[in-house]
Chain A
């Protein structure tokens, strides 16, 4: 069964450094998402991406964050200058049509030191 793949599984970065989290969504999917989950808290929406542009973003997704689909298979989340509070699990999700279920990768654990 096709699945969403995320790399790396764990990223440790110094505060202030840039980090790029990578995702390979399911191949025929058209809608792409990033969520994050701080330890012990709810999953939180960051951004949705469709037709090569951001379709919706949350208040969390400020100017430090950006997303890109550089080719036909990858979907990336960049955090320009990381802060301690960016430490969390980051999940990528995708689906083919608007109200179909989103399928999730196993996440990247981001630790900011």
Chain B
């Protein structure tokens, strides 16, 4: 069965304290792994797409990496505005299969 698991469920960091979020997955025929950011009351906002093991993408303080079993979202020197829920999803056929998300809180 296709499945996506994210850890930790929640993460509290001080401003400037770097860390990583994990997304492990099992899917038959990975067509892409996607990272989204979701703010309260809003829809998921696209961050990155990764298609093959070894691929890396970077944007400002965020860097996403992919292996055959998991993806990491590294956040370097985060700021309070990085506080959000970060969602991981894998594409199987047309649909996206989602993890439960990691709620990230950055304290000033």
Contacts and interface: CB of A to CB of B under 8 A. Distances in A.
A52 B89 CA distance: 25
Contact of A99 (B32, B42, B101): B32
A48 B94 contact: yes
A98 B94 contact: yes
A interface residue count range (under 10 / 10 to 19 / 20 to 34 / 35 or more): 20 to 34
Interface stretch (A11-19, A63-71, A103-111): A103-111
B108 interface: no
B34 A101 contact: yes
B98 A44 contact: yes
Nearest to B89: A43
A58 to B, nearest CB: 7
Interface residues of B, number: 24
Nearest to B51: A99
Given A42-B98, A42-B100, A104-B43, A99 B87 contact: no
Contacts of A58: 95
Given A42-B99, A99-B32, A106-B41, A31 B46 contact: no
Nearest to B44: A104
Interface string A49-82: 0100001101000000000000000000000000
A23 to B, nearest CB: 11
Interface of B: 31-32, 34, 36, 41-46, 49, 51, 87, 89, 91, 93-101
Interface of A: 4, 6, 31, 33, 35, 41-45, 48, 50, 55-56, 58, 91, 93, 98-107
